[in-house]
A and B are shown apart, each in its own frame.
Chain A
Amino acid sequence: AQTVTQSQPEMSVQEAETVTLSCTYDTSENNYYLFWYKQPPSRQMILVIRQEAYKQQNATENRFSVNFQKAAKSFSLKISDSQLGDTAMYFCASALTQGGSEKLVFGKGTKLTVNP
Protein backbone atom coordinates (compact mmCIF):
# COMPACT_ATOMS: atom_id res chain seq x y z
CA ALA A 1 0.00 0.00 0.00
CA GLN A 2 1.10 3.52 -0.69
CA THR A 3 1.35 6.08 2.08
CA VAL A 4 2.19 9.77 1.97
CA THR A 5 3.29 11.76 5.00
CA GLN A 6 3.42 15.51 5.40
CA SER A 7 4.95 16.35 8.76
CA GLN A 8 4.32 20.10 8.72
CA PRO A 9 0.67 20.89 9.48
CA GLU A 10 1.24 24.64 9.11
CA MET A 11 3.94 26.93 7.77
CA SER A 12 4.26 30.62 7.13
CA VAL A 13 6.58 32.70 4.99
CA GLN A 14 7.09 36.35 4.23
CA GLU A 15 6.16 37.60 0.80
CA ALA A 16 9.05 37.32 -1.69
CA GLU A 17 10.90 34.77 0.42
CA THR A 18 11.43 31.06 -0.22
CA VAL A 19 9.74 28.21 1.60
CA THR A 20 10.11 24.43 1.41
CA LEU A 21 7.32 21.99 2.19
CA SER A 22 8.26 18.44 3.12
CA CYS A 23 6.77 15.16 1.97
CA THR A 24 7.81 11.55 2.38
CA TYR A 25 6.12 8.56 0.82
CA ASP A 26 6.28 4.81 0.92
CA THR A 27 5.66 2.43 -1.94
CA SER A 28 7.00 -0.94 -3.02
CA GLU A 29 6.44 -0.13 -6.67
CA ASN A 30 9.02 1.13 -9.14
CA ASN A 31 6.71 3.04 -11.45
CA TYR A 32 4.80 5.88 -9.89
CA TYR A 33 4.16 9.59 -10.09
CA LEU A 34 4.34 12.20 -7.39
CA PHE A 35 2.34 15.40 -7.26
CA TRP A 36 1.87 18.59 -5.34
CA TYR A 37 -1.65 19.97 -5.39
CA LYS A 38 -2.75 23.37 -4.08
CA GLN A 39 -6.16 23.99 -2.51
CA PRO A 40 -6.81 27.71 -1.90
CA PRO A 41 -9.42 28.61 0.72
CA SER A 42 -12.90 27.71 -0.57
CA ARG A 43 -11.54 26.98 -4.02
CA GLN A 44 -10.86 23.85 -5.96
CA MET A 45 -7.71 21.81 -5.96
CA ILE A 46 -5.26 22.49 -8.74
CA LEU A 47 -2.08 20.76 -9.79
CA VAL A 48 1.12 22.61 -8.95
CA ILE A 49 3.78 20.22 -10.17
CA ARG A 50 4.32 16.54 -10.98
CA GLN A 51 7.29 14.23 -11.09
CA GLU A 52 7.72 10.87 -12.80
CA ALA A 53 9.66 8.51 -10.56
CA TYR A 54 11.81 7.23 -13.42
CA LYS A 55 13.14 10.73 -14.14
CA GLN A 56 16.16 11.79 -12.14
CA GLN A 57 15.84 15.44 -13.05
CA ASN A 58 13.79 17.46 -10.59
CA ALA A 59 10.64 19.01 -12.03
CA THR A 60 10.24 22.78 -12.12
CA GLU A 61 7.28 25.02 -12.94
CA ASN A 62 8.14 28.70 -12.80
CA ARG A 63 8.53 29.56 -9.08
CA PHE A 64 7.83 25.98 -8.01
CA SER A 65 10.42 23.22 -7.94
CA VAL A 66 10.81 19.88 -6.27
CA ASN A 67 13.66 18.04 -4.62
CA PHE A 68 13.03 14.40 -5.46
CA GLN A 69 15.17 11.96 -3.50
CA LYS A 70 14.06 8.53 -4.69
CA ALA A 71 16.22 6.45 -2.38
CA ALA A 72 15.06 8.44 0.63
CA LYS A 73 11.47 8.50 -0.68
CA SER A 74 11.36 12.22 -0.18
CA PHE A 75 9.59 14.76 -2.37
CA SER A 76 9.76 18.34 -1.11
CA LEU A 77 8.30 21.42 -2.76
CA LYS A 78 10.19 24.70 -2.91
CA ILE A 79 8.29 27.90 -3.57
CA SER A 80 10.51 30.82 -4.54
CA ASP A 81 9.53 34.48 -4.42
CA SER A 82 6.40 33.64 -2.42
CA GLN A 83 3.28 35.59 -3.33
CA LEU A 84 0.13 36.30 -1.33
CA GLY A 85 -1.80 34.14 -3.78
CA ASP A 86 0.29 31.15 -2.74
CA THR A 87 -1.62 31.04 0.55
CA ALA A 88 -3.37 27.67 0.48
CA MET A 89 -3.37 24.07 1.66
CA TYR A 90 -0.72 22.07 -0.16
CA PHE A 91 -1.16 18.35 -0.60
CA CYS A 92 1.50 15.90 -1.62
CA ALA A 93 0.17 12.85 -3.48
CA SER A 94 1.36 9.71 -5.20
CA ALA A 95 -0.12 7.49 -7.88
CA LEU A 96 0.90 4.19 -9.37
CA THR A 97 1.16 4.02 -13.14
CA GLN A 98 0.23 0.44 -13.75
CA GLY A 99 -2.42 -2.04 -12.78
CA GLY A 100 -5.48 0.09 -12.60
CA SER A 101 -6.94 3.37 -11.66
CA GLU A 102 -3.95 5.65 -11.01
CA LYS A 103 -5.85 6.79 -7.93
CA LEU A 104 -4.15 9.46 -5.92
CA VAL A 105 -3.02 8.83 -2.34
CA PHE A 106 -2.76 12.12 -0.48
CA GLY A 107 -0.96 13.32 2.61
CA LYS A 108 -2.80 15.31 5.26
CA GLY A 109 -1.63 18.61 3.85
CA THR A 110 0.36 21.64 4.91
CA LYS A 111 -1.38 24.95 5.44
CA LEU A 112 0.85 27.67 4.00
CA THR A 113 0.31 31.30 4.86
CA VAL A 114 2.19 34.00 2.96
CA ASN A 115 2.43 37.17 5.03
CA PRO A 116 2.73 40.64 3.50
Chain B
Amino acid sequence: DTGVSQNPRHKITKRGQNVTFRCDPISEHNRLYWYRQTLGQGPEFLTYFQNEAQLEKSRLLSDRFSAERPKGSFSTLEIQRTEQGDSAMYLCASSPPETSGGPSPDTQYFGPGTRLTVL
Protein backbone atom coordinates (compact mmCIF):
# COMPACT_ATOMS: atom_id res chain seq x y z
CA ASP B 1 0.00 0.00 0.00
CA THR B 2 1.73 3.14 -1.22
CA GLY B 3 -0.69 5.66 0.20
CA VAL B 4 -2.38 8.58 -1.53
CA SER B 5 -0.09 10.38 -3.95
CA GLN B 6 -0.46 13.84 -5.46
CA ASN B 7 1.37 15.52 -8.30
CA PRO B 8 2.87 17.98 -8.61
CA ARG B 9 3.84 18.75 -5.04
CA HIS B 10 4.40 22.41 -5.84
CA LYS B 11 3.08 24.60 -8.63
CA ILE B 12 3.86 28.24 -9.27
CA THR B 13 1.83 29.94 -11.96
CA LYS B 14 0.93 33.38 -13.16
CA ARG B 15 -2.50 34.85 -12.72
CA GLY B 16 -4.78 33.86 -15.55
CA GLN B 17 -3.09 30.56 -16.35
CA ASN B 18 -4.75 27.16 -16.08
CA VAL B 19 -3.38 24.48 -13.77
CA THR B 20 -4.19 20.80 -13.28
CA PHE B 21 -3.43 18.61 -10.29
CA ARG B 22 -3.55 14.85 -10.08
CA CYS B 23 -4.45 12.57 -7.20
CA ASP B 24 -3.89 8.81 -7.09
CA PRO B 25 -5.86 7.27 -4.23
CA ILE B 26 -5.05 4.12 -2.33
CA SER B 27 -5.93 1.19 -4.58
CA GLU B 28 -9.45 -0.15 -4.08
CA HIS B 29 -10.55 3.04 -2.34
CA ASN B 30 -13.70 4.03 -4.18
CA ARG B 31 -14.26 7.33 -2.38
CA LEU B 32 -12.14 10.35 -3.20
CA TYR B 33 -12.23 13.84 -1.73
CA TRP B 34 -10.61 17.17 -2.58
CA TYR B 35 -9.99 19.79 0.09
CA ARG B 36 -8.36 23.22 0.05
CA GLN B 37 -6.24 24.50 2.91
CA THR B 38 -5.14 28.11 3.19
CA LEU B 39 -2.51 29.35 5.61
CA GLY B 40 -3.62 29.19 9.21
CA GLN B 41 -6.85 27.40 8.43
CA GLY B 42 -8.14 23.88 8.50
CA PRO B 43 -8.90 22.10 5.24
CA GLU B 44 -12.19 22.97 3.53
CA PHE B 45 -14.17 20.47 1.50
CA LEU B 46 -14.31 21.03 -2.25
CA THR B 47 -15.76 17.94 -3.87
CA TYR B 48 -16.39 14.21 -3.50
CA PHE B 49 -16.38 11.23 -5.85
CA GLN B 50 -17.74 7.77 -5.33
CA ASN B 51 -16.17 5.69 -8.08
CA GLU B 52 -16.40 7.90 -11.18
CA ALA B 53 -19.46 9.84 -10.07
CA GLN B 54 -19.03 13.31 -8.64
CA LEU B 55 -21.69 13.30 -5.95
CA GLU B 56 -21.12 16.53 -4.09
CA LYS B 57 -19.57 19.91 -4.77
CA SER B 58 -18.98 22.73 -2.32
CA ARG B 59 -20.05 26.28 -3.05
CA LEU B 60 -16.33 27.03 -2.81
CA LEU B 61 -15.93 25.27 -6.12
CA SER B 62 -16.56 28.11 -8.54
CA ASP B 63 -17.12 27.68 -12.27
CA ARG B 64 -13.38 28.00 -12.79
CA PHE B 65 -12.83 24.72 -10.94
CA SER B 66 -13.52 21.34 -12.42
CA ALA B 67 -12.75 17.88 -11.12
CA GLU B 68 -12.90 14.53 -12.82
CA ARG B 69 -12.39 10.89 -11.99
CA PRO B 70 -12.97 9.28 -15.38
CA LYS B 71 -12.26 5.63 -14.56
CA GLY B 72 -12.94 5.67 -10.87
CA SER B 73 -9.25 5.54 -10.05
CA PHE B 74 -7.13 8.71 -10.22
CA SER B 75 -8.68 12.17 -10.15
CA THR B 76 -7.73 15.53 -11.59
CA LEU B 77 -8.58 19.00 -10.34
CA GLU B 78 -8.30 21.81 -12.87
CA ILE B 79 -8.39 25.51 -12.10
CA GLN B 80 -8.93 27.81 -15.06
CA ARG B 81 -7.91 31.47 -15.16
CA THR B 82 -6.18 31.26 -11.81
CA GLU B 83 -6.46 34.14 -9.36
CA GLN B 84 -4.19 35.06 -6.47
CA GLY B 85 -6.91 33.95 -4.08
CA ASP B 86 -6.53 30.42 -5.40
CA SER B 87 -3.12 30.17 -3.72
CA ALA B 88 -3.47 27.33 -1.22
CA MET B 89 -2.61 23.73 -0.48
CA TYR B 90 -4.90 21.35 -2.35
CA LEU B 91 -5.35 18.08 -0.50
CA CYS B 92 -6.72 14.82 -1.78
CA ALA B 93 -8.04 12.05 0.45
CA SER B 94 -9.49 8.62 -0.17
CA SER B 95 -11.48 6.12 1.84
CA PRO B 96 -12.45 2.49 1.27
CA PRO B 97 -15.91 1.21 0.37
CA GLU B 98 -18.27 0.15 3.12
CA THR B 99 -18.11 -3.53 2.18
CA SER B 100 -14.34 -3.78 2.28
CA GLY B 101 -14.21 -5.40 5.69
CA GLY B 102 -11.07 -3.40 6.35
CA PRO B 103 -10.67 0.09 7.76
CA SER B 104 -13.87 1.95 8.52
CA PRO B 105 -15.29 3.78 5.52
CA ASP B 106 -15.31 6.99 7.44
CA THR B 107 -11.55 7.14 7.86
CA GLN B 108 -10.01 9.33 5.18
CA TYR B 109 -6.38 8.94 4.20
CA PHE B 110 -4.71 12.11 2.98
CA GLY B 111 -2.08 12.72 0.37
CA PRO B 112 0.83 15.15 0.80
CA GLY B 113 -0.98 17.92 -1.07
CA THR B 114 -0.17 20.22 -3.96
CA ARG B 115 0.89 23.69 -2.94
CA LEU B 116 -0.29 26.25 -5.51
CA THR B 117 1.18 29.75 -5.65
CA VAL B 118 -0.43 32.20 -8.04
CA LEU B 119 1.73 35.25 -8.79
Contacts and interface: CB of A to CB of B under 8 A. Distances in A.
Interface stretch (B22-30, B37-45, B61-69): B37-45
A4, A93, A104 interface centre (most CB from chain B within 10 Å): A104
Interface in A74-116: 91, 93, 95, 97, 100-109
A108 B42 contact: yes
Interface of B: 4, 31, 33, 35, 40-45, 48, 50, 55-56, 91, 93, 95, 104-113
21 contacts: A33-B106, A44-B4, A44-B110, A44-B112, A50-B104, A50-B106, A50-B107, A91-B42, A93-B42, A97-B106, A101-B50, A102-B31, A102-B95, A103-B45, A104-B93, A105-B45, A106-B42, A106-B43, A107-B42, A108-B42, A109-B42
Interface of A: 4, 33, 37, 43-47, 50, 91, 93, 95, 97, 100-109
